[in-house]
Amino acid sequence: MPETGLEERVARLEGRVEGFEDRFASLERRLDGLDAGIDALDAGIDALDAKVDRFRDELAGRVESLDHRLSSRIEALDHRLAGGIQALDHKVSRHFTWTVGIQVAVLLAVVAALAGR
């Protein structure tokens, strides 16, 4: 087996190094593409985050508006209910007065009838 010369070995090594350089260049291009994809994904996430913030703010405004409207309606219903209870209390008091008056009148009529005998 003949020994290979130094120049041949160096040439072979240079060929291998060039092959690695091609592979590294290909890998670098792929990494650049991946980096661009990550940048695009990051931009998409930022856009989604902004949309979520706008939606949250809009939803908070709607909830606050609904809370205000419901509070107003509940307060109005509370006033109506209080007025209705007060009117009912007055009506029951009048009925009680009439009932007591009728009972006193009947009692006086019975006493008068018994005393007149």
Token pair recorded at residue 20:
């690695």
pLDDT of residue 72: 94
Nearest partner of 48 among 35, 40, 60, 64, judged by Cα? 40
pLDDT single digits (tens) 41-99: 999 999 999 999 999 999 999 999 999 999 999 999 999 999 999 999 999 999 999 99
H and E: helices and strands count for the chain: 1, 0
